[in-house]
Structure 1
Amino acid sequence: MSQPLVSVITPCYNGQPFLQRVLDSVKNSTYTAIEHIMIDDASIDDSVTTLRSLANDYAFQLLESDVRQGPAPARNRGVQASRGKYLLFLDCDDTIEPHFIETLVRVAEAAPEEVAPFYTPIRLQGAMERSIGGASWSIERLIDSPFMSVCSLVPREAFDRVDGFTPQLRVLEDYDLFLKLAFAGYRGQLVTDIRLHCEIRPDSYSDHFNQRGGDTVKRRTRSLILQRHRHDIERLGLGDRPRSGLISTVARETWANLTWSRTQIPHHRPEPHPIRPTPSDPTPSDPTGSPHPESSPASLNPATTTESTTTQPTKSKTPLPKYPDKLELVEALEPIEVEPIADMLVSLIPGDAKRVLEVGCGEGAMGEQFKRVAPACHYTGIALTATDARHAATKIDRVIAEPIEALPQLDHDSCDIALGSLDCIVYRLDVAASPHFEAILTQQQPWLRPEGLVLFALPNPHHWGEIIALLSGQRRPQGYTIEEAQQMGGRAGLTALDVRVLNEAGDEPPEAFATWLYDRLDDAAQAFNFDPAMFKLTARTSHHIFRLWKAPAKPRLLLVQTLLLSKMASDRVRVYQPDRLLQTIPGVRISSSVHALTLLPGRPNEDKVFIWQRAQLDGETGIAKQQRILRDNYLTVAEIDDDPRFWASHIESDFFTFRSCHCIQTSTEPLAEFLRQFNPYVKVIPNQLPELPPPRIYDDHAPVTIFFGALNREPDWQPLMAGLNRTLNDFGDRIHVRVVHDRHFYNALETPHKSFEATCTYDRYHEILRECDVALLPLNPTEFNGMKSDLKFIECAGRGVVTLVSPTVYKGSVDHGQTALMFHTPEEFEVLLHQVIENDDWRRDIAAKAYAHVRDHRLISHHYRERYDWYLEMRDRLPELNAALRDRIPQLFEGLT
């Protein structure tokens, strides 16, 4: 049996003294199917010269950069140039043992496909001598603290699926990669038979000894990484881990019991960073700008690498010092581009809101972001400065410029806002933390319609930073307690819905303060009757996110919990993206998990829905699983968006999954019709886009780019290939073809003007699509094809791409000549392809109409309430559904009480 190829990826920046050593360690490997790719990241020492001189003695490919990019982009570049089934990221100052790769590959080849990465114990050497045995895999442990080295074996398929390293991260990029893998459903595996040998150096880029503020940079970066993954943490039911989560009723009551009585209105605490349009990724910066060799920071910092999930402060009897230097260091860091408070607030605005007011809108970034979710929403912002107003006016529908002091007297007539007309008011931190907030809230509450929402964030006065500020005499605690904020809303005529917490994981108190406080915490808790564990949780919470509404009573409660058993792209389209909007509905809780079945406890009077996403249950084990859910009074739903006969297990079990659930949700009517023979309660929930991409700006001088990307479509495209090649020959270099995944299609193209990309991530697929002009979507009229959805059409339309489609699937979705071009024969296809390439204006007119169709009809924000209403209807009909389920599978109810 041939060995699978392993691509060893080694970034280098000023690593000249270590290059021959790392090359020797790879050369001496007992595993032979290796390609070694060295990436020099614009070193200013003799690294490149040394590598060129060693090229005759060692087998490696050298990639050189003119401009320094950082370790994450360097590794990504190496991966792009590689061909291996497996990727091993080996830094230039680390070495591996001879059997290292062979052992990892042997374990990987025997492991299930959902395992990644494969990591090992570490031996630190150089400035620190120490062995780290390695911690067994746990997603909880990973969220709590980095514990793996970047020098791990990662299957390429897994790496590509999560988009590789986040290129903007300059430190902890490996920690971010491992989190992305975990949240995509992968689990790591510790391989204990071998070790990585890691060089610890005082001048390293990751600043292991904190000589240049590296600990602070890593702490803030880690906090940012976890903030960006907070939705994944919450959907896995790990909201108590270092990030954010919905506070339970018990927790809220406990927090209220811990509040400090205070009558003084808090001083204004401005937002720590200016509001900016949110980029795709954060960019933590090197605070020194000095050159340091790149190495893996996530696991090799002796201060953060442990084998336990938590780190206890060192026991010491040091008296409490003041911390002005520490506080100034934190304040001096460069602003983080992504503002998590704004991100949380915008995620709670109802997707079907028609009129939204943001008070303190800054430059309009949050409104611009929301209008991609709900383009028809009329979004008004009140800007607190003229400069903000000018910027915001380019991004949202209407801007009112008023200083914060004038807001308590600002009436609706002067703003041209009708009473009872707003669906949601969002208050930014500048406003909510000001002394004027209650007066502003009272003044503007009548502007809301009945059941309209109010969203705002407030600093937590019990955060450790506020406690330090109080004890050091710098200021009184700022912010409101949960109880105070809810009472304020009540005085303004609003009812509290829920509270979410914002925790900056890694933003821990200074060690001396933590030691001083925690040494005495248990005694203080006993003396003053409070829960020390809850106090620690409270002290980590930087802000509370409040949701209030204009209604006298609480809404109907609904829990929607999904178990995902698939790592396909459908998890986004069918679960995560709809869930994001469902959770904006008052009273709705959303939870999802991958592979592991864990039922959340219900709240009083809460309706519960459990969704099996692409599950393949069998009669032997499925009975017990379904009974466990039924016993907890859940409505059970089977979710499927493909012909289930594609999986033999469904046929072998006589479609037990669909017969054993109360009801089914699916994506198309033909698929629903097939499923009704097993269960009559079927709901069609078509696929939609989560948001509208920005409008396309076309390059008039570029060739027309044709896109084709699909799995298992050779019978569908073969009849069209002859006409396609004739067209390519006719137009020559005026056409370029981009192909994703299908190598046979690519090879059949008779043109040099083509490019190929192997199976890529979902986000990368969308990037490629947006760079194309025409997409080919052929489907033969087979039963399997007929059950597919029109998702590819709306993905193309939203990105300004004209589609050539077959009647199968698309006949009911497109308007020929208006939103797409439909062909019935290969001859028609060839004629339409010629015409759409020749006529730029016609092509772009069709693209514009298709884009408008998606904007007006095919976004999740247009449809998510229908899904919610169906869940409530099915819950109300649960006795009827239970009776029907008992008739289908009586065994499900045996032994149930």
Structure 2
Amino acid sequence: MRRAGEGRKPPAWPERLASPPHHVSHPRAIFAPLDVAHALRTCPADVCAVTRRNYGTDANPDLLARIPLDARRILDVGCGAGGLGAAFRRRNPATELLAVEADPALADQAQAHYDAVHRIDIEATAPPIAPGSLDALILGDVLEHLRDPWAVLRRDAALLAEDGVLLACVPNLEHWSFAARLLAGGWCYEDQGLFDRTHLRWFTKQGMQQALEQAGLVPLEVSPRIFDHDRATEFARRLAPALQALGVTEADWLRRSAPLQYVWRATRRPPAPMLVAARTLRPVGGVNDVRVLQPFAALASRPGVATLAGPQAEMPKVDVPRILVLQRRLLDRPDSVDYLRGLRATGALLVQEFDDDPAHWPSIAASNHLAFRGVHAVQTSTAPLRDLLAPFNDEIAVFPNALAELPEPVNFRDPSRLTLFFGALNRQADIAPFLPVLNQVLAEAGGRLAVEVLHDRPSFEALATPHKRFTPTADYAGYRMVMGRCELAFLPLADTRFNRMKSDLKAVEAGGHRLCCLASPVVYAGSLRHGETGLIVPDPESLGRELRALLAEPGRALNMANAARAWVAADRMLARQVAPRLDWYRALWERRAALDAALLRRVPGIG
């Protein structure tokens, strides 16, 4: 934590408290709760900074998740080395990112990640930002360093657009380590962490809420950042007799003292609330991630939008617009009408999420396409699928598969060697005709061409080369990690009805990782520009020809891979879909009476 240089009633929405982020690992152990000597010489490490020199290198994940993904203009005050800006840039390359950082060395580092870095003392000089122009104002670990944080909040709240959001991360004055130090008689300031000597102001949760309201903002959400919960719990247990004597319950004190920091989200006016829930498939590969979990995280970055997902997710009883997404539910059982009747009774608007050819499951047609007729609306991934499903439901939206984040490339490190990625479920028949020519090119190339195969063990065994590696079926992160270390991606699809209904997701993922695709014309000819953003290989002969050409001129592969990454950054990021998805869901809710009447006409038994 370091220096960066009449309230309104909040909406009727339950306070949402985040779980401790499991992926934040750098806070060191605070101290053994009963070891007073250790308490006197050890101070909690700041979870956002380790030293002044590298402050802000890493992004605070709890702030990052709450920046509206489709924000057009953001000001990050006290950006440090720019880790938060760099992380958000990967999520939305189109955002105008501005920053304030008074430390010259840190500002120099941050400059690479922001469109502009203002090197000012935020208290002495107002940011040169037009009032009402920011979609997000971020104050990460800043307010505690100011002489008058209340004045800065009042002044800079006016920079927000009407629907803009303020995000702040502040230390918790009630953290249990404060009490431990005071009881041990060993209070001391230090050079970093919770007891940083530059901390001039301290906040409780109630005090920070008042500060936001006095600035004319509407506090929407406060999320605790809890680290070392076991020690906090043990400390509370040992204090229980004293707490009881003071009329304070152990559970209440632990709730207030466990958080090291709080992340606040506030707006100038209460946002329109919405709840979007999903009943997901059993996780296989990245199906859930791409079609539900990542889009839901994108939606939840908008103030007022809550999401939840799981195989048996229940719709909470809240008086807000409610959308329930059913992910590829076949609805082919004898009790499916009863199942849908129960879901409709919750008052939620039902949306089927389907991104494959339903003919793959004959039971769907046998049930008279209840999967699509028995819901209010359908969402899918491609125009051909929309046209295929249109006879069964008039309300269909297309949301192409997209990336939540543009990863940093890690490939093309050795210009003398290329690695070809092949990884997909149920593609053995698609790759089989290409294996002889692939083996021929591998033999010619020697160690200059290697192959990474994921999931498909028979195809891996058929490759006659020692320069190959196999990875079993992985989760989505593992799949993307294997793909990312390759330079080429082979995407074969035979010309079948089922394949023609597939999306171009693998080309999008490969482009995001800066791979050059060699892909079939089926599906991918509509996405890749041959010779510019990838190569279309309709037959084994063309695959062999293009592979040999790339081995002779690897720089050409890199050029196409860079162009593919630019295409994904411009056109296929989830940030572009936040507004269209929310607008469609809100429009569905506004028309729910008409949509419900149409549903009952299609399937009277649901009523």
Question: Are positions 1:622 and 2:339 aligned together?
Answer: no
TM-score, normalised relative to structure 1: 0.59
Residue 314 of structure 2 corresponds to: 598
Question: Are positions 1:745 and 2:459 aligned together?
Answer: yes
Q: Which moved more, 1:872-881 or 1:730-739?
A: 730-739
Residue 878 of structure 1 corresponds to: 592
Question: Are positions 1:430 and 2:128 aligned together?
Answer: no
* Matched-pair contact (CA < 8 Å) for 1:668–1:787: yes
Local SS of the residue matching 2:247: helix
Q: How far did 1:506 drift?
A: 1.9
How many angstroms apart in 1 are the aligned matches of 2:537 and 2:369? Answer: 36
* Matched-pair contact (CA < 8 Å) for 1:582–1:864: yes
Q: Which moved more, 1:774-783 or 1:636-645?
A: 636-645
Quickly say closer, same or farther: Cα 1:635–1:388, change in 2 above 3 A.
same
Residue 257 of structure 2 corresponds to: 539
* Matched-pair contact (CA < 8 Å) for 1:282–1:337: no
* Matched-pair contact (CA < 8 Å) for 1:431–1:437: yes
* Matched-pair contact (CA < 8 Å) for 2:146–2:201: no
In the TM superposition, what are the counterparts of 1:336-351 in structure 2 within 5 Å? 342-351=60-69
Question: Are positions 1:589 and 2:332 aligned together?
Answer: no
Q: How far did 1:485 drift?
A: 2.6
Quickly say closer, same or farther: Cα 1:573–1:330, change in 2 above 3 A.
farther
Q: Percent identity?
A: 31
* Matched-pair contact (CA < 8 Å) for 2:402–2:573: yes
* Matched-pair contact (CA < 8 Å) for 2:487–2:514: yes
Q: How far did 1:643 drift?
A: 2.3
How many angstroms apart in 1 are the aligned matches of 2:247 and 2:469? Answer: 68
Quickly say closer, same or farther: Cα 1:327–1:656, change in 2 above 3 A.
farther
Question: Are positions 1:449 and 2:161 aligned together?
Answer: yes
How many angstroms apart in 2 are the aligned matches of 1:610 and 1:672? Answer: 20
How many angstroms apart in 2 are the aligned matches of 1:765 and 1:337? Answer: 31
Cα shift readout 1:655-685 (whole Å, capped 9, x = no counterpart): 3332221111111222222222322222111
In the TM superposition, what are the counterparts of 1:746-785 in structure 2 within 5 Å? 746-785=460-499
Residue 580 of structure 1 corresponds to: 297
Residue 151 of structure 1 corresponds to: none
* Matched-pair contact (CA < 8 Å) for 1:433–1:459: no
In the TM superposition, what are the counterparts of 1:68-83 in structure 2 within 5 Å? none
Residue 5 of structure 2 corresponds to: none
Residue 202 of structure 2 corresponds to: 479
Q: How far did 1:798 drift?
A: 1.1
How many angstroms apart in 1 are the aligned matches of 2:501 and 2:434? Answer: 22
2:214 is aligned, of 469, 473, 491, to: 491
Quickly say closer, same or farther: Cα 1:352–1:332, change in 2 above 3 A.
closer
* Matched-pair contact (CA < 8 Å) for 2:144–2:171: no
In the TM superposition, what are the counterparts of 1:77-116 in structure 2 within 5 Å? none
Question: Are positions 1:418 and 2:130 aligned together?
Answer: yes
Letter in 1 for 2:276: V
In the TM superposition, what are the counterparts of 1:504-519 in structure 2 within 5 Å? 504=227, 506-509=229-232, 511=234, 514-517=237-240
* Matched-pair contact (CA < 8 Å) for 1:432–1:457: no
Q: Which moved more, 1:616-625 or 1:776-785?
A: 616-625
2:441 is aligned, of 727, 739, 742, to: 727
Residue 665 of structure 1 corresponds to: 379
Quickly say closer, same or farther: Cα 1:682–1:335, change in 2 above 3 A.
closer
* Matched-pair contact (CA < 8 Å) for 1:322–1:472: no
Q: How far did 1:324 drift?
A: 4.7
Quickly say closer, same or farther: Cα 1:802–1:644, change in 2 above 3 A.
same
Residue 108 of structure 2 corresponds to: 390
Cα shift readout 1:529-552 (whole Å, capped 9, x = no counterpart): xx875454233333332112233x
How many angstroms apart in 1 are the aligned matches of 2:27 and 2:177? Answer: 22
How many angstroms apart in 2 are the aligned matches of 1:432 and 1:613? Answer: 44
Q: Which moved more, 1:469-478 or 1:531-540?
A: 469-478
How many angstroms apart in 2 are the aligned matches of 1:379 and 1:324? Answer: 46
2:123 is aligned, of 408, 431, 438, to: 408
Quickly say closer, same or farther: Cα 1:512–1:614, change in 2 above 3 A.
closer
Question: Are positions 1:808 and 2:522 aligned together?
Answer: yes
CA RMSD of aligned residues (A): 3.4
How many angstroms apart in 2 are the aligned matches of 1:519 and 1:624? Answer: 55
How many angstroms apart in 2 are the aligned matches of 1:514 and 1:494? Answer: 37
In the TM superposition, what are the counterparts of 1:16-415 in structure 2 within 5 Å? 282=25, 324-325=36-37, 327-328=39-40, 331=43, 342-402=60-120, 406-412=121-127, 415=128
Quickly say closer, same or farther: Cα 1:383–1:733, change in 2 above 3 A.
same
Q: How far did 1:765 drift?
A: 2.3
TM-score, normalised relative to structure 2: 0.85
Q: Which runs of 5+ in 2 are unaligned?
A: 1-9, 51-55, 189-194
Which structure would you say has the larger Rg? Answer: 1
> How many residues are aligned here?
576
Cα shift readout 1:264-301 (whole Å, capped 9, x = no counterpart): xxxxxxxxxxxxxx99873688999xxxxxxxxxxxxx
Quickly say closer, same or farther: Cα 1:891–1:837, change in 2 above 3 A.
same
1:846 is aligned, of 560, 563, 568, to: 560
1:706 is aligned, of 414, 420, 425, to: 420
Quickly say closer, same or farther: Cα 1:252–1:884, change in 2 above 3 A.
closer
Local SS of the residue matching 1:676: helix
2:275 is aligned, of 546, 556, 559, to: 559
How many angstroms apart in 2 are the aligned matches of 1:333 and 1:466? Answer: 13
Quickly say closer, same or farther: Cα 1:647–1:520, change in 2 above 3 A.
same
1:609 is aligned, of 320, 323, 332, to: 323
Letter in 1 for 2:211: M
Q: How far did 1:437 drift?
A: 1.3
How many angstroms apart in 2 are the aligned matches of 1:622 and 1:571? Answer: 22
Q: How far did 1:349 drift?
A: 0.8
Letter in 1 for 2:83: A
Q: How far did 1:501 drift?
A: 2.8
How many angstroms apart in 1 are the aligned matches of 2:46 and 2:258? Answer: 22
Quickly say closer, same or farther: Cα 1:733–1:546, change in 2 above 3 A.
closer
Cα shift readout 1:678-698 (whole Å, capped 9, x = no counterpart): 222221111101111114552
How many angstroms apart in 1 are the aligned matches of 2:34 and 2:456? Answer: 64
Quickly say closer, same or farther: Cα 1:332–1:546, change in 2 above 3 A.
closer
Letter in 2 for 1:863: Q
Residue 189 of structure 1 corresponds to: none
How many angstroms apart in 1 are the aligned matches of 2:152 and 2:28? Answer: 38
How many angstroms apart in 1 are the aligned matches of 2:303 and 2:45? Answer: 37
How many angstroms apart in 2 are the aligned matches of 1:533 and 1:709? Answer: 49
How many angstroms apart in 2 are the aligned matches of 1:863 and 1:678? Answer: 25
2:576 is aligned, of 847, 862, 867, to: 862
* Matched-pair contact (CA < 8 Å) for 1:566–1:613: no
Quickly say closer, same or farther: Cα 1:283–1:432, change in 2 above 3 A.
closer
How many angstroms apart in 1 are the aligned matches of 2:389 and 2:559? Answer: 39
How many angstroms apart in 2 are the aligned matches of 1:334 and 1:356? Answer: 24
Residue 3 of structure 2 corresponds to: none
How many angstroms apart in 2 are the aligned matches of 1:399 and 1:279? Answer: 31
Cα shift readout 1:744-802 (whole Å, capped 9, x = no counterpart): 32333333433333333332322222222221111111111111111100111111111
Quickly say closer, same or farther: Cα 1:856–1:279, change in 2 above 3 A.
farther
How many angstroms apart in 2 are the aligned matches of 1:251 and 1:578? Answer: 22
Quickly say closer, same or farther: Cα 1:510–1:565, change in 2 above 3 A.
closer
How many angstroms apart in 1 are the aligned matches of 2:479 and 2:13? Answer: 44
How many angstroms apart in 1 are the aligned matches of 2:373 and 2:145? Answer: 54
